[in-house]
Amino acid sequence: MQAESVFRESLVTGGKTVADVSQDISCQVENKPTRLWWTAFGISLVLLTYGGYCCWMMLWHGIGMWGLNKTVGWAWDITNFVWWVGIGHAGTLISAILLLFRQRWRMSINRAAEAMTIFAVICALSFPGFHMGRLWLGFYWAFPLPNAFGSLWVNFNSPLLWDVFAIGTYFSVSLVFWYMGLIPDFAVIRDRAVRMGHMTRAKIYNGLSFGWDGAAKTWMRYESVALILAGLSTPLVLSVHTIVSMDFATSVIPGWHTTIFPPYFVAGAIFSGFAMVLTLLLVTRKVFKLEDYITIYHVELMNIIIIVTGSIVGIAYITEFFIAWYGQVPAESYAFINRATGPYWWAYWSMMTCNVISPQLFWFKKLRTNLVATFIISIIVNIGMWFERFVIIVTSLHRDYVPSSWTMFHPTMYDIGQYIFTFGIFFTFFFLFAKFFPVINMAEVKSIVRATSEKKNKAH
């Protein structure tokens, strides 16, 4: 067996046994939803309905409903797209990269984080989808299919097409990875349902678990699959935001044409993703009483990752500014001075405050182990990361090369409505997940619970 360091804090508290893990996690699926759950789910449905109306209007009348103009041709749509994709990155980081590094604290948070990844990517995909105008033809335009004009193929030199493949692969591989983790846990719920006499539920969860039996041979293969999926997902997740950043970096727009974009975007993505994981998990652990599984220690470790990635993002902002001055390209210098002091100064300084200053507060142990402070800062970080994308995109575009076309961007209710729509999708899916799927990876937590609880018993 693996040795447990005495200097590390326990990952599962409360002296839980293996049977307790099955009980504590499965009962959330088995019990009737609480009033709190119905309220939260109802609010998500309201968001979804209002957003759905805005999306329908936009599909019917076209994307002229958005506030874009001939100077600012990309604004909220791509801001929101990049924001959501970035949020997704934390889930893969937790499940894949931390698995490769054998970080066992990932075990009680990976399930919810991966679910978040999948829902965030669905939200992200809706923006380029709607931007194509005719959503139902999107598949036909984006993939290399023979078409009506002879075989005029898609342009494989374009980062936008790389995005199609990167995000398509990212979504489907993350889904498979997440589902693989769920298979043994569905079997737990199936067998509990058999013992309780709920045969319909048992049949449904058996189908979901693909008839999982937990044999040593299956576990051996399963672990091998999980390890290789982690190995594949690690470069995949890094490639996704790299390619997203290339949508900008390969253009010749001042403020976008920067070689530091790939690492800068990846760090920003993980930064915002961890903030969103914290926002969701702090609520989930409270509502589902999972304080023994998602401990203050987990929160603290995630906050440390926020300091690290937040500082990388801060350095990237400063580097961009430095290079704009050092490079001595007038258009480039202007773009950056305009960001900080031009008409969008408020967006720039919101970004700086939220992303560079607020995570530094986590250097204080009191703050990074305080749940209220963590919750507030996690939301501030996400606001800041939204502004980052807005600043990069809109401030670079709104000052064109020709001063007569200089303009401002004003979102319409349909821009805002579609953003609300994605929140509706995200929270509706998340609450459905939290109700019907086990929110913590039981099999993995069971493999560490014996070691931690025995140590605790010895200490008493």
Partner 1 sequence: MASKENFLVGIFDNEEVLLHAVENIRDKGVKIKEVYSPFPVHGLDEALGYRRTRLPIAAFLFGMTGTITALSTQIWMLGFDWPMIIGGKNFFSIPPFIPVTFEFTVLLSAFGMVGTFLVVSDMKPYKWPRQYDIRSTDDKHVMAIDLGSNKIGKEDIRRILKDNGASEVNEKSF
Q: Which residues bind partner 1 (CB under 8 A)?
A: 1-2, 17-19, 22, 144, 150-153, 155-157, 159, 161-162, 165-166, 168-169, 172-173, 176-177, 180, 183-184, 187-188, 190-192, 194-195, 206-208, 210-225, 228-229, 232, 235-236, 239, 243, 442-444, 446-447, 450
**397 burial level (CB within 10 Å; 0-12, 13-18, 19+):** buried
Q: At closest approach, how far in Å is the CB of 179 from partner 1?
A: 9
Contact 307, 271 (CB under 8 A): no
- Comparison of 65 and 443: residue with beta carbon closer to partner 1: 443
Distance CA 28, CA 18 (A): 17
Q: Which residues contact 282 (CB under 8 A, 6 or more apart)?
A: 299, 371, 374, 375, 378
- Comparison of 5 and 155: residue with beta carbon closer to partner 1: 155
DSSP 94: I
User: Please, where are the H alpha helices in 391-441?
Assistant: 396-398, 413-436
Q: At closest approach, how far in Å is the CB of 66 from partner 1?
A: 28
- Comparison of 165 and 349: residue with beta carbon closer to partner 1: 165
Distance CA 94, CA 113 (A): 7
- Comparison of 194 and 260: residue with beta carbon closer to partner 1: 194
Contact 203, 40 (CB under 8 A): no
Q: Which residues contact 287 (CB under 8 A, 6 or more apart)?
A: 34, 36, 37, 434
Distance CA 350, CA 347 (A): 5
Q: How many C-beta atoms surround the C-beta of residue 163 within 10 A? A: 20
- Comparison of 243 and 290: residue with beta carbon closer to partner 1: 243
Q: At closest approach, how far in Å is the CB of 160 from partner 1?
A: 11
Q: At closest approach, how far in Å is the CB of 324 from partner 1?
A: 25
**What is the CA 242 to chain-centroid distance, rounded?**
15
Q: At closest approach, how far in Å is the CB of 423 from partner 1?
A: 28
- Comparison of 265 and 336: residue with beta carbon closer to partner 1: 265
Distance CA 4, CA 247 (A): 46
- Comparison of 150 and 330: residue with beta carbon closer to partner 1: 150
Q: At closest approach, how far in Å is the CB of 178 from partner 1?
A: 12
- Comparison of 190 and 298: residue with beta carbon closer to partner 1: 190
Q: At closest approach, how far in Å is the CB of 269 from partner 1?
A: 17
- Comparison of 137 and 228: residue with beta carbon closer to partner 1: 228
Residue 276: both structure tokens together: 């969103």
Contact 300, 367 (CB under 8 A): no
Contact 407, 69 (CB under 8 A): yes
Q: At closest approach, how far in Å is the CB of 397 from partner 1?
A: 21
Q: At closest approach, how far in Å is the CB of 389 from partner 1?
A: 21
Angle value at C-alpha 426, between 177 and 24, nearest 5 degrees = 65
